[in-house]
Structure 1
Amino acid sequence: MRQHSSPPASPRTAKGLWAAALTTLGLFAALIPGASGAQALVADNPYERGPAPTVAGIEAARGSYAVSQTTVSSASATGFGGGTIYYPTSTADGTFGAVAVSPGFTATQSSVGWLGPRLASQGFVVFTIDTNTTLDAPDSRGRQLLAALDYLTQSSSVRTRIDSARLGVMGHSMGGGGSLEAAKSRTSLKAAVPLTAWDLNKNWAQLRTPTLLVGADGDTVAPVASHSEPFYESLPGSLDKAYLELKGASHSAPTTANTTIAKYSLSWLKRFIDSDTRYEQFLCPLPQAGATIAEYRGNCPHTS
């Protein structure tokens, strides 16, 4: 039987069909909050990096990205003591958010070094730093964290891989206090994660950066009753904030690989540096006390 094919559309007809298609596309886009044209149908959030998260995936020692690293000597650093940059090897997904991490009193970057490849493999550039001296106070460590972020985005060999508008800070002990100091000074930071933080300042009402405080129920150096808990309570009620208290843990818990710290730190950084709402499932409803969590307080992330 002879088959019949339709004649090619005239230029006028083809133009009309294309206009109709664009109109339909616009109608679909209008149904997506904050969307704009065809781009909205491609991705609601252009900062999402990596596959859809699962509990197994965020608890794993490594994520989906292969990681490279580079050393920054103290001689080439200005305002901090050098360190190690961990970053996703591939550039196929575009730029990444970045996080600077400070060690605590008398410690070096090796004490927080496990966080570098672990977070970088999930889609961040991570800079674990040495401080100018191991005895530096939290306010100095805060300034050094900011100097490290400036180096990352302006001078480092990986600066083109970083979105300078999406930055965060972390730190252990006095480095945790330093991360609070940094967030107080630079309100444009997207996330702060102080780990068993120590600081003489107990009032952080000025902070505007979403903050996850991690304490430990067995901490005798920075007891939660006089550090992490009052830090958390002083944060504005309108701020995206949370307090995670580790169960059966000491002040040094953040200095070795810790699945609970990694799981919730990663979720926090993803949600607020990458605006990745796929990670809200691990933050809301609020995690419950259990084998590794003594207590969790906070609010569900605000939708923007």
Structure 2
Amino acid sequence: MTRHLGAAMAAACLTLLLAPGAQAAGSAPASAAAAADNPYERGPAPTQSSIEALRGSYGVGETSVSSLAVSGFGGGTIYYPTSTSDGTFGAVVISPGFTAYQSSIAWLGPRLASQGFVVFTIDTLTTLDQPDSRGRQLLAALDYLTQRSSVRGRVDASRLGVMGHSMGGGGTLEAAKSRPSLKAAVPLTGWNTDKTWPEITTPTLVIGADGDTIAPVATHSEPFYESLPGSLDKAYLELNGATHFTPNSSNTTIAKYSLSWLKRFIDDDTRYDQFLCPLPRPSLTIDEYRGTCPLGS
């Protein structure tokens, strides 16, 4: 009788172990279920080396957009992950600065796209357009990207962000003010005559340069950041040993923190919190970093 009872108990235990949902915490199925909690995560778990890399895990394609085929902005280049196995991607449009063309910010296109974004670097209607105009052009480019472009099927129109250099950075703030549904904004050594932005509700990373004499941080990036609502997810990164034109060439510090910000707020990917909180400390490339932690609170 004891032998039969023991056999029955063993069978019951085996049934329990094989039952759906009976896996121990930390097993592969449980981890997969946890990952499924955020359907917007794209790419492998990030590391310090992966966010500093010139390229991420995705192959990148690109397509040119003629100014003759669009309205409201000057055309540009779309960079996109070639893989479709992960579904749609968040997207970001990037504007150049005063007198500049998309070539001045083109390095960000493949760098961000290879990490799992559709990226549109644009030309403006004229190289002399002011920030308010550039803000409208960023939004027009987003509308084209999500509604008419050849890669619109790869884009999640609910997960969009904007970036820009100099007057394009000022335009980034204008776009975020005009369209609160944007998930992230990153002005790069931004310039704008408007210094206060209490209306913005989009998580914003302001990047300035300690040696900027065209848009000095004391009269541009710092007041931009300080005027953003205290309740907003926001950060201020001041580059060390940098100038107004530092964002015009490949820069690891700009790339890693822009990427982390876009991942965190366009993709809601908390795996990137580790690079933003606790706040990065001053270093050879960072003069100062301010921000709100924890993020998303």
TM-score w.r.t. length of structure 1: 0.88
Q: Report the 3-state secondary structure (helix = DSSP H, G, I; strand = E; otherwise coil) of the residue aligned with 1:272.
A: helix
1:273 corresponds in structure 2 to 266
Residues 208/76 of structure 1: CA separation in 2 closer, same or farther (3 Å cut): same
Counterpart Cα distance in 2 of 1:177 and 1:217 = 18
Equivalent residue, structure 2, for 1:222: 215
Report how far residue 303 of structure 1 moved: 3.3
1:117-136 equivalent positions in 2, closer than 5 A: 117-136=110-129
Gaps of 5+ in 1: 1-16, 29-37
Q: How many residues align?
A: 277
SS at match of 2:236: strand
Which residue does the alignment assign to 1:78? 71
Residue 63 of structure 1 is matched in structure 2 by 56
Counterpart residue identity of residue 85, structure 2: A
2:150 to 149, 157, 179: 157
1:145 matched to 2:118? The reply is no
Aligned partners of 1:303, 1:78: CA distance in 2, in Å? Answer: 36
| 2:231 is aligned with 1:238 | yes
SS in 2 for 1:181: helix
* 3-state SS of paired residue (1:207): coil
Give how far 1:113 is off: 0.2
- Alpha-carbon separation, structure 1, partners of 2:157 and 2:21: 36
Q: Distance in 1 between matches of 2:47 and 2:34?
A: 24
Counterpart of 1:213 in structure 2 is 206
- Paired letter, 1:55: Q
Which whole-Å CA distance do the structure 2 matches of 1:68 and 1:90 have between them?
Answer: 9
Shift of the alpha carbon at 1:43? 1.3
- Superposed, which structure 2 residues align to 1:1-304 within 5 Å? 40-41=33-34, 43-303=36-296
**1:164 match: secondary structure:** strand
- Give the 3-state SS of the residue equivalent to 1:180 in structure 2: helix
- 8 Å CA contact retained: 2:233, 2:296: no
CA deviations 1:5-62 (Å, max 9, x no partner) are xxxxxxxxxxxx99x957879xx9xxxxxxxxx9955512110000110010000000
Letter of the aligned partner of 1:155 in structure 2? R
- Partner SS state of residue 85, structure 1: strand
Runs (4+) off by over 2 Å: 20-25, 38-42, 301-304
* Whole-angstrom distance in 2 between the partners of 1:170 and 1:142: 10
Contact conserved, 2:96 with 2:166, CA < 8 A, in 1? yes
> Which amino acid in the other structure matches residue 236 of structure 1?
P
Tell whether the 8 Å contact from 2:80 to 2:113 is kept in structure 1 after alignment: yes
**Counterparts of 2:93 and 2:294, CA distance in 1:** 22
CA distance in 2, matches of 1:237, 1:81: 35
Question: How far does residue 302 in structure 1 lie from its aligned partner after superposition?
Answer: 3.0
- Equivalent residues of 2:273, 2:295 under 8 A apart: no
- Tell me by how many angstroms 1:291 deviates: 0.5
% same residue: 75
Aligned counterparts of 1:41 and 1:293: Cα–Cα separation in 2: 34
- When the two structures are superposed, what TM-score results if normalisation uses the length of structure 2? 0.90
How far does the alpha carbon of each residue in 1:205-243 deviate from its partner, in whole angstroms, 9 at most, with x for none? 000000000000000000000000000000000000000
CA 1:23–1:43 in 2, change beyond 3 Å: closer, same or farther?
Answer: closer
42 and 213 in structure 1: CA distance in 2 versus 1, 3 angstrom threshold: closer
Cα separation, partners in 2 of 1:94 and 1:265, compared to 1, 3 Å: same
Q: 2:239, 2:285 within 8 Å by CA — same for their partners in 1?
A: yes
